[in-house]
């Protein structure tokens, strides 16, 4: 598997995942290479819940270089069949939470691979029951806004959250 190199990025504070990657705590590793590590979640939704994590510290999805992001997804895809066999679960949720409002509690970017079985009690309800269905004008307006931001080079290179790698 190709392992792209990632530029170093300084941490913004203490990070338990950086501790795990650095060997400062116990971790049950199921995959590792030069840029990625995958280990079992210590608070699993279901047995076999794995986290795929870059070795370098990035907090949010938009901070991760595109080549590294692609590599992390390749690692996740490599793990899925083995995870299904090992856990005996036929299905998988792939979950990325980016930012506190999205429910990210460890501020080191990671991908959850959650083995799933019928009736396991876990749910990510989509469509979200409390959401109202927008009208076509609202959908078209948001699509146009996103599209125009993608075409505007100043919007892509602006501060922080619009930055592209």
Gap between the Cα atoms of 107 and 109, Å rounded: 6
Q: Are 16 and 25 in contact (CB under 8 A)?
A: yes
Give residue 92's Cα distance to chain centre.
14
User: Of 49, 57, 71, 110, which residue is the catalytic one?
Assistant: 110
Is residue 110 part of the annotated active site? The answer reads: yes
* Cβ neighbours for 75, distance < 8 A, ≥ 6 positions apart: 1, 31, 33, 36, 38, 52
Task: Catalogue the active-site residues.
Answer: 110
């Amino acid at each position: 598997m190709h392992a792209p190199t990632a530029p170093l990025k300084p941490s913004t504070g203490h990070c338990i995942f950086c501790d795990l990657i650095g060997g400062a705590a116990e971790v049950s590793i199921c995959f590792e290479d030069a840029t990625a590590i995958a280990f079992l979640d210590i608070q699993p939704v279901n047995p076999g819940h794995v986290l795929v994590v870059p070795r370098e510290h990035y907090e949010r999805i938009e901070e991760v270089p595109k080549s590294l992001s692609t590599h992390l997804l390749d690692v996740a895809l490599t793990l899925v069949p083995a995870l299904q066999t090992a856990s005996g679960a036929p299905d998988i949720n792939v979950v990325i939470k980016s930012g506190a409002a999205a429910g990210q509690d460890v501020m080191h970017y990671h991908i959850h691979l959650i083995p799933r079985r019928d009736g396991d009690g876990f749910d990510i309800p989509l469509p979200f029951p409390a959401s109202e269905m927008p009208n076509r004008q609202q959908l078209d307006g948001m699509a146009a806004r996103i599209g125009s931001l993608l075409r505007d080079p100043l919007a892509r290179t602006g501060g922080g959250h619009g930055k592209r790698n």
